[in-house]
Amino acid sequence: MGDVLHALPAAAALKNAWPDCSIGWVIEPRWSPLLRATCSSAAKPVVDEIFPAETRRWKQRPLSTGTLTEIVGLRRRLRQGRFNLCVDMQGSIRSAVIGRMAAAGEFCGPAEPREAPARWLYQGRIPVASTHVVEQGCELLGQGVGMNLRPAEIDFPFDGEAQRSCETELSGIWESGRYALLCPTAGWGAKQWPAERFGAVARELHRRGVPAVINAAGSADPVAEKVVAASEEYATTMAGDIPQLIELTRRAAVVIAGDTGPLHLAAAMRRPVVALFGPTDPARNGPYGTAARILRHGRERRDHRRLAEPEAGLLEITVDEVVAAAEELLESAQG
C-alpha cells in the first residue's frame, strides 16, 4: 500500500505534464482501489489501465497450474499494451521480473534497487539523488521519460457505498464533529508501537473531547481489540476495505500511525498526521505533503529487518508526546 501511494505523485506529475500519455499499472488486486486516484489539477484519472497480479497467492502456490496460467495471462495482456516504456518503481526482484515480462520498448529501474539482483533485469539503470521516496519516484520516472517531474497532488473520488457505510458506522460516535483515527498495526513488529499505548492515547483524547476510531484489520483484529481494552472501551473500531478506509481517513481530524500504509494514505489525502517512527527513516519515507508531527528517538538507527519486537527507539516515544502532538495539530486546524 505504501509503495503504491509513494509512486502515485510521480505518475500524476507525468499525467499533468503529458495529458495524452497512457499509463498502465501492475498491482495486487486488493490495492487497486488506490488507482482510482485523479490528478488534483484536472480531476483526470492518473492510471488508464490496471493489470491485476495476485503475486501473494502465486508465492504460496508457485508451481500450480492456476498460478502458471495466470502469469502467462498477465504476460500476454502486458505485451498487448505495446508499452514504449516500463519503469520499475518498487525495485524488487518480483516487480523487475513482471516489468521484464511486458517487453516494453525500454525497461528501466533504479540503479540501486531495494533488492540488488533486480538491477540485472533492467535495460536502463537510473541513479536517484533525492532523499524522500516520493521525490525518488519523480526522479526515476522523470528520467525514464526525459522530463523534469515534481510530485503532484492526487485526489481520491468519493465512493457512494463506502461513504454510506462510513457514516453509518460513525453515527453517534462524536458530538463535536471530529475524531482521531488511530492505526495501530504495521508491516512488521519493529515498526509497531504497543497497542496498549495507542489505547492510552485514545483514552486521553476522549477526555479532551476528541473520540478515537481504531482502524482494524478485520472484524476480529487482536491488536485493535487490545487498543479498545486499553482505552477503557472509549475507542471504537472500524474495519473495512480500501474505499472505506479512504472515506474514514477523509473525515478524520487527525491520524496517528506508525510507518504504515494508512499513514501514507492520510498524507496523500492531506490530513494532519502524528507519525511514530522507529527503525525506518522518516527523511526517506515519512509523511509527505501534509501537516505532520514526526516522533522518533534513536535517530542514528536505520534497520529494515523484519523483527517481531518493537524497536527500542520506538518504545521511547511516550503517550504524553503523542497526545501533545495530536493536540497541537488539532489546535492548528481550528485556528
Average pLDDT over residues 37-56: 93
Average pLDDT over residues 42-49: 92
pLDDT band of residue 244 (cuts 50, 70, 90) is: very high
The three grid cell numbers given for residue 174, joined into one nine-digit string: 462524536
Of the listed ranges 69-73, 76-80, 191-195, 297-301, the least confidently predicted one is 297-301
State whether 113 and 96 are in the same domain: yes
pLDDT band of residue 333 (cuts 50, 70, 90) is: confident
Q: Please tell me whether the overall predicted TM-score, pTM, comes out greater than 0.85 for this model.
A: yes
Task: From 120, 155, 190, give the residue that closes a domain.
Answer: 155
Instruction: Tell me which long-range contacts 279-286 makes (C-beta under 8 A, separation of at least 24).
Output: 279/190, 279/191, 279/303, 279/304, 279/305, 279/307, 279/311, 279/313, 279/314, 280/191, 280/304, 283/131, 283/132, 284/131, 284/132, 284/133, 285/2, 285/6, 285/132, 285/133, 285/259, 286/132, 286/259
State whether 165 and 295 are in the same domain: yes
State whether 116 and 182 are in the same domain: no
pLDDT at 61: 92
Average pLDDT over residues 45-62: 94
State whether 141 and 195 are in the same domain: no
Looking at the DSSP assignment, which residues form a beta bridge with residue 320? Answer: none
pLDDT greater than 80 at residue 130 = yes
State whether 132 and 190 are in the same domain: no
pLDDT greater than 60 at residue 328 = yes
State whether 228 and 197 are in the same domain: yes
Residues in the chain: 335
pLDDT greater than 90 at residue 40 = no
Return the SS3 of 1: coil
pLDDT band of residue 259 (cuts 50, 70, 90) is: very high
State whether 249 and 190 are in the same domain: yes
State whether 185 and 275 are in the same domain: yes
State whether 146 and 165 are in the same domain: no
pLDDT greater than 80 at residue 300 = no
Pairwise CA distance, residues 9 & 65, whole Å:
37
- Give the CATH number of the domain where residue 298 resides: 3.40.50.2000
State the total domains in the chain.
2
pLDDT band of residue 308 (cuts 50, 70, 90) is: confident
Q: Which of 332, 326, 295, 317 is nearest to 209 (CA)?
A: 326
9 within 8 A of 34, measured Cβ to Cβ: no
Question: Count of CB atoms within 10 A of residue 130's CB?
Answer: 14
Task: From 123, 155, 187, give the residue that closes a domain.
Answer: 155
Residues in Cβ contact with 238 at an 8 Å cutoff, skipping those fewer than 6 apart: 166, 169, 170, 213, 214, 215, 216, 244, 248
Range(s) of the domain holding residue 277:
160-334
Task: From 155, 170, 186, give the residue that closes a domain.
Answer: 155
